[in-house]
Structures are given as structure tokens and as C-alpha cells.
């Protein structure tokens, strides 16, 4: 089951920016883009950087906010669960930061948010 879940998740490497939609709670139609790209209505934009550990900026250009799962991927491709905040609606950016250095962040399991957390 873990392998299946990893196949549905999107792994964003450090230094990368991706746009995607959410389909049945998982990233869909994902494509790597330039950092200056703007998400269309219904798309999510995510960027991962190496800054004071690992930093992820994520924005959601839809009317629905989401909670989601994130895992930090280390140099040996091991995944460690990471705490995340609610992804707000209406293209408001969320900033996630973790002290660990990671080669990427795997995101998945998007669920409609009922309020915010963090």
C-alpha cells in the first residue's frame, strides 16, 4: 500500500516548481514550470527550496482550502513525515519550513479543510 500511495503523490525536488490540479485527493496533471508561472483557476503551485533547511511555498487557486500530507525525502530516498499547515483558498500562499535538509518534498492526500490549522 505504501508503494501505491507514493505513486499517487507528487515529489517536488529542491529547486523545482510544479503546477497541478487535485483529483480524488491526489496531485493530477502535474507539470514542472518556471518559478514565475501563475496557477490557473483550480491549480496548485508548489516550490521547494533549500533555505535554512527545507522551505516549501504552496498556493491554491481555487475557492476550497485543503489539508494535505507532506514527507521530506532525504539523500538516501527515505521519507519522513512532516507537519503542514492548512493550504488556504484563493491563491493565498502558505509557507512551510522544516529545519531538516531534504532533496525533495512528497505531497499527497489533499482533503477539503474545515477551518485552518497552524
pTM for the structure as a whole: 0.89
pLDDT one-digit tens code per residue, 35-58: 999 999 999 999 999 988 999 999
Task: Say which residues have a Cβ less than 8 Å from residue 29's Cβ, sequence separation at least 6.
Answer: 20, 21, 23
Name the DSSP letter for residue 41: T
Please, how many CA atoms are within 13 Å of residue 35, restricted to the half-sphere of its CB?
9
Residue 5 pLDDT grade (very low, low, confident, very high; cuts 50, 70, 90): very low
Residue 98, SS3 per DSSP: strand
pLDDT one-digit tens code per residue, 49-104: 998 899 999 999 999 999 999 999 988 888 999 999 999 999 999 999 999 999 99
Residue 7 pLDDT grade (very low, low, confident, very high; cuts 50, 70, 90): low
Give me the percent of the chain exceeding a pLDDT of 90: 82
Query: With contact defined as beta carbons under 8 Å apart, do 65 and 89 qualify?
Result: yes
Query: With contact defined as beta carbons under 8 Å apart, do 17 and 32 qualify?
Result: yes
Domains of the chain: 2-112 (2.60.210)
Amino acid at each position: 500500500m505504501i508503494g501505491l500511495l507514493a505513486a499517487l503523490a507528487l515529489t517536488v525536488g529542491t529547486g523545482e516548481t510544479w503546477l497541478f490540479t487535485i483529483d480524488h485527493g491526489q496531485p493530477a496533471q502535474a507539470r514542472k514550470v518556471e518559478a514565475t508561472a501563475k496557477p490557473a483557476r483550480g491549480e496548485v503551485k508548489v516550490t521547494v527550496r533549500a533555505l535554512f533547511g527545507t522551505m516549501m511555498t504552496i498556493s491554491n487557486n481555487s475557492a476550497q482550502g485543503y489539508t494535505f500530507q507532506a514527507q521530506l525525502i532525504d539523500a538516501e530516498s527515505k521519507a519522513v513525515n512532516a507537519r503542514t499547515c492548512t493550504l488556504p483558498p484563493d491563491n493565498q500562499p502558505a509557507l512551510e519550513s522544516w529545519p531538516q535538509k531534504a532533496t525533495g518534498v512528497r505531497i499527497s492526500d489533499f482533503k477539503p479543510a474545515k477551518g485552518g490549522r497552524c
